[in-house]
Chain A
């Protein structure tokens, strides 16, 4: 159960629209199923009442939508941001991607989001509805009339299990109060892979990346991937490719994508959330974050607007590549 209710959020958003502060709201809209939530721009109180949802499946990070949304009108847009979303929000501001003046940021407290794949693993795919019931989820399926009772903590998404912060890095107002930066264990998985032998690492990633279908969902959702034209879509870049015709291309795509967002990735985890093939893509980005922290000092992208990303910075005493690589090797 989220700390703040849908009711409180809608009331506040209605006030904002009524005051004329903003003329639209970027929020979560219910989809075909309860767990199938999509981003939407709401322009009226009625629309909000009808379609706005808030709950354990509102994982989508709206920061990236602000680029297009703010360009549309001179009026302010209100946006709902969970703590992890605010880092992306700041990072985009650092990169001058939208006009802060045109945004009214409403921070909402987040208790972690559920992973529908984990639920489906327990219940099977035929889910008809899910109701939040205190700390539990009542999952109704087509197989049975009685709901399956699942503890929410058992189906929390991976990124929420290793949540780095419940504190909002940016907001105009907060709903549901603020939390703290957490001491997360988010690099444990990376360390586990690092501890493997070279052959094991190769086999591991071969297994993961070869499943890629090049749907580009990871790129399209990524709040750091906001290029006007992606190098992979650009025939002049020398890297254009569109299909997983060869295993090299999967690697090329994911290495280059991770490299392009290195130092800019806030570790929001959207890439892995949307991947239809369940490839743990965040482990590539986290490897870069872990290395950056180890080589060049702790850095959290999006923590502060205007901070200098590690890859456009240097220190005269930086570690040499030959001393940096594979230090963790046995």
Chain B
């Protein structure tokens, strides 16, 4: 099974683990990720204003590549996923916006949201099936209490993302379970870490991360997993009490031959 893969800029650099383990785990689970040729950075955030065209072109180019290849586009980084999914939605549902974009790109092949966009976790859930992980799981994580940290980008806006119940998501917990560990549910798992405010407003971010960390710790989490490099950076930088891993790292641990 093949997918077009959009790693994004951070995964090529500071979040190499998120990328490497995603690719390795994919091979173990029997699917292949083919990187989009010469992809451009998605821009990290989706600018919601409907007169913003240029900031969305990189996403549209990746989407067009998927349309041309006739396979779904897969993302791993939460930010990339959010930007590409929202862009695709706008291309499909906002005719005026799509028209502007198509005229801007003007390569004779108009795009109207035909490609399918999957997050890596959605591929696991909807196409591969978590049972496959359970089958191949080595049991190394048995008894480990792991909290899923969703943040905001994967879930919201829920009407566009359609990822999971935005207020009570299960997908990462189900993956943790399939990987042989015990998921821990805590209240702040779907609240924002502070995101890009890390640059300018470190105090705000520190406060947010503290609240999240407290909430996870109180619920008994021994580690957190996330799909977002910025979430991980913010949590770690602000002195999280528990280790913060990428979900692909956890997956890789569960699937790895040597325990």
Task: Answer yes or no: A and B touching, Cβ < 8 Å.
Answer: no
Residues of A within 8 A of B (CB): none
Residues of B within 8 A of A (CB): none
